[in-house]
Structure 1
Amino acid sequence: MPFMPKKMSDNKFICMIVDGSYPQDIRVRKEAEALTDFGKKIIVVCPRKKNQAKQEIVNGVQVYRIGSNYTTVKKGINDIVESVFNINPFFYFNLKKIFRKYSIEFLHVHDLPLAGTAYAFRKKVEKGLVLDLHENYPEALKTWFSWKKSRLIRIKNMVFFNPKHWSKKEEKYCRKFDKIVCVVDEMKEKLINNFHIEEEKFTVISNYEKKNFAENFNTEVAQNIIDKDFFSITYVGGFGPHRGLDTAIRGMQKVLHQVPTAKLYLIGKGSADVENKLKDIVKQLKLENIVEFVGYRPFDEVATIMKKSNLNIIPHKANDHTDNTIPHKLFQIMMSKSLLLVSSCKPLKRIVQKYDAGLVFEAGNAEDFALKVNNAFTNYDALKYKTENAYTAVMEKGENWDEESLKLLKLYDKLEN
C-alpha cells in the first residue's frame, strides 16, 4: 500500500528559514516543493536582494523575503552578531513579524548559523523544531577561508568563526532541536559518535536529483566551450580550497605526458582570492593553454557541456567537511551518461563504487588523478559501461529525489502525531 501523507490544517504552516537566495538554493527548493506537493503549507523566509519581490508564490511555495537589499556587508555584520550572541538580529526581528501573521506548526532551519535564532522561537512553534545540516559547518570553516589573503579577514574569521566554538554550537543545538536532518550517513554517524545523541533524532535526506532532471540532457544547446579536438575534462561548480581544483590542475601537468590533447575546463566561479590562487598555479606550471577558466554559464548550456565532456570530475579534497556532505552535481553527472571521476571522499567513493559508476582517485593526490585520467583516455570505450551503471543507479535503484523526498514527508508526519 503506498504511503499516504497527512494533510495539514489550512491555516497551519511549516516555516523554513535560509540565509541564502530562494529558489536558487537547490536543497531548500527541493524540500519545500516536495512538502508542498504532498499537501503541506510552506513559507520560506529568506533575505531579499535588490529588485526581488518581497512576497511571491513559486511552484506552490510561499516565499517571504525580508529586508530591502541584503548585501554581503550586511550579512557579514549579522553573522558576527550571531556568532557572539547566538541570535541573528536581521532574521530574529523579521521572524517575529512572521509569527504574528501566521500560525507556525514547525520551524525548519537550514544549516547551523541560524539554529540559535530559530531556537529563540521554540515556545511560539506549535509542534517542533527541525535543524537541517547541509554540511559539517565547523569543519567547513577550516577550509573555506584558508586561502584568504587579507589579514583583517583572517583575524575576523579566527575570532568569530573559530571551528571549536562552532562545534560546541553544533552539539548544543543538535541536543535542543526535536529532529536533525543530515545529508549523508557519514554526517549522521559523526554526530551520534561525537555527541552521543540518540539515533532516533536523525534522518538522512541526501542531495539527490529528481528523475526528470535527466530530461535536461535530451536537448543539446549551442555552446562554444567543449572543443572536439581535445580530450575534455570538466569541472562544474563553485571554486574553493576544499574543491580540489588545485589537485586537478597539478595533475594536468602529468596528464599531458600521455594525453597531449587533454584540456581541463573549469565551469563556475570563486572568490577573488581563490581564483587568483588557482590561476597562479596554472601560470607557475605553464598550463595557460591547457586549463580554461570558463566562468558561469547558463544552466541549459552547462547540461550540454556535462554531456559533451569526455570526463566529468569531482576532485574534492578529503577532510571532515567533504567527508560529511555530498554535492548535487554527483547525481546530475550520473544522469548525463558521461564518464565520471571522483576523489576518494567517503560519500563520493561509496556511491561510485557501490554501483561501479565511475573512476575514483586518491583525494589530494595529483599523480593518482593523472593516472586515472590516463586510464579513462586509454580505455574510454571499454569504460563506457560505467556511465550506464550510473544512469541506472539514479533512475532504477533509488538514488533519486522522487524516493528520497518520502523520508522528509514521513519525518513530518511523525512529528505531527
Structure 2
Amino acid sequence: MKILMVLENQFPDDERVEKEALSLIKAGHEVHLLCATLKKERVGDENYKGIKLHRTLSTPFLYNKAKIACLRLPFYFMFWKKQVGNLLRTETFDVIHIHDLPLAEVGYWAKKKFGISFVLDSHENYPYMLDMAPYTKGIAGKLMYSFAAWKHYEREMIGKADIVITVCKEMSDRMNDLVPRTYYHVDNTISMELFPRPEPHPTTTGKIRLLYVGGITYHRGLQNVIKGLALIKDKSKYSLDIYGKGAYAGDIKDLVLTLGLEEIVHFPGYLKFPAEAVKMCAYSLGVISNLRSVQTDCSSPNKIYQYFYYGLPVLVSDMDSVGNIVREHQVGVVYKDNSPEDCARKLEQLVTLNLEDMATRAHKLCLEQYNWDISVKQLIAAYESIR
C-alpha cells in the first residue's frame, strides 16, 4: 500500500515515527511523510532511508502554540488540510497515517474527501497530557484550551478512524472504555540494531549508582527521588547521575544544594542517543520517577526499554504501565508516587537485593519480549487488516 504519514513536528527528530516508517517499508509498503520544518532551506522533498519526505514550512507560533487552540480556532486545521490536500491531489495514496491526536481531524477530512483509510496513531494520552502542561494554566491557555473539549475530540476521532494504534495495553484499555473497538498497541521499545551493543558492567564496589536520563520537569518527579535520598541514613552507598535538561532543572539543582546532596547527586550534562547509550552500563539502576497521572499510567516511556537493554533494573514510581512490568518480571523496585518516604525505604531495600540477578532478567526481558522486532508485529497486523 501507499501510505502518507503526517507529523506536525520536525523529522527525523522522532524515533518512533522513523521506526514505524522503516518497518512498513520493510513489509513492502511505500511510505511518504509530510512533516513541518522551521528552516526555509529544508523545505521540499527528500529521500531519507527510503522514506519519501515532504517538508512544509511552519512558523514558531503554528509549531509551538497553535495546536493547543485548534479546537477553538480553525487556522491550525486549515494550514494542515491545505498541505495534505496538495499532496493528495498530486499523488494517489491508500492510507493517511496521522501521528497523534491534534491532526486527527485532518486525517478524517482526508478520509471523507479522498476515500482513503484513516489510521490514528496515538503517541500520548493527549487530553491528559495537555491538562498537566504549564502552558494551559495561564490566562491565554485557559482561554484557548478546554479539557472537556479535548476529551470529546479524542472520543470522536477514535470512533471515526479505521485503525487506532496506541503505545501500550493500558492506553488501549483506557480508550476501549471510551469507544469499544479493536486497538493495536505498539510499545515504544528499543530497536536493538540502532544502539551500540551492551558492554560488561563494572565489578560492583558495594555502591548503588543510580542513573536518570531524560527531560527535567516538575512532572518527571525527580524531586521525590532526591528527597528520598536525603532521608537515607547511610548516603555513602548511593549516587545519582542526572543526564538531561528542562524547565525544572534549576529547581532540581537548588533542591540538591538545599538538602546537602551535592556529594552524591551530579549533573554530567546530556547523553547523546544512541551513540552514547552504552554509558548506561556503568550504572546499577535506572530511574523513572514520573508523577502518577492518567497520562503516565497509560504510557510507554522508551527509557525503560533502553535501561533493560543495557542491563539496568529500575527504580520507578507506581505508574500502572511501568509498575506492572517491573512487578510482573521482578526487574526493579516500585515506590509510591509522590512519597519521598516510600522512595527512601525502597532505596534502602536495594542493598538487600541481588541486583545482578535483576540486571540479567532485565536484559533478557528486552531480548525476548520488549524489543521493536516483537512490538512491530502489531503495526504490521494493523495494516494487514485494511489491505
The TM-score normalised by the length of structure 1 is 0.84
| 1:264 is aligned to 2:240 | yes
| 1:199 is aligned to 2:181 | yes
Does the 8 A contact of 2:167 with 2:188 survive in 1? yes
| 1:391 is aligned to 2:363 | yes
Does the 8 A contact of 2:241 with 2:265 survive in 1? yes
Kindly provide the amino acid, as one letter, of the partner of residue 229 in structure 2: M
1:124-273 matched pairs, under 5 angstroms: 124-145=113-134, 154-193=138-177, 195=178, 197-200=179-182, 202-213=183-194, 215-218=196-199, 231-255=208-232, 257-271=233-247
Aligned partners of 2:282, 2:108: CA distance in 1, in Å?
A: 47
1:5 aligns with none
- Residue 210 (structure 1) shift: 2.3
2:66 aligns with 78
* Matching residue within 285, 288, 295 for 2:259: 285
SS of alignment partner, residue 120 of structure 1: helix
* Matching residue within 353, 371, 376 for 1:405: 376
- Residue 392 (structure 1) shift: 1.4
Aligned partners of 2:242, 2:43: CA distance in 1, in Å?
A: 33
Q: How many residues align?
A: 382
- Residue 322 (structure 1) shift: 0.1
Listed as ranges, the gaps of 5+ residues in structure 2 are none
1:48 aligns with 37
Write out per-residue CA displacement over residues 260-312 of structure 1, whole angstroms, 9 at most, x where no aligned residue: 252322111213xx223333433432334433333323225641331111221
Aligned partners of 1:218, 1:290: CA distance in 2, in Å?
A: 24
The verdict on how the C-alpha distance between 1:265 and 1:354 changes in structure 2, with shifts beyond 3 A counting, is same
Listed as ranges, the gaps of 5+ residues in structure 1 are 1-7, 221-227
Kindly provide the amino acid, as one letter, of the partner of residue 209 in structure 1: I
Aligned partners of 1:92, 1:300: CA distance in 2, in Å?
A: 35
- Residue 231 (structure 1) shift: 4.0
2:299 aligns with 325
The TM-score normalised by the length of structure 2 is 0.91
1:88 aligns with 77
Identity %: 27
1:110 aligns with 99
Aligned partners of 2:85, 2:360: CA distance in 1, in Å?
A: 51
SS of alignment partner, residue 366 of structure 2: helix
- Residue 90 (structure 1) shift: 3.1
SS of alignment partner, residue 23 of structure 1: coil
Aligned partners of 1:339, 1:190: CA distance in 2, in Å?
A: 27
SS of alignment partner, residue 321 of structure 1: helix
- Residue 213 (structure 1) shift: 4.9
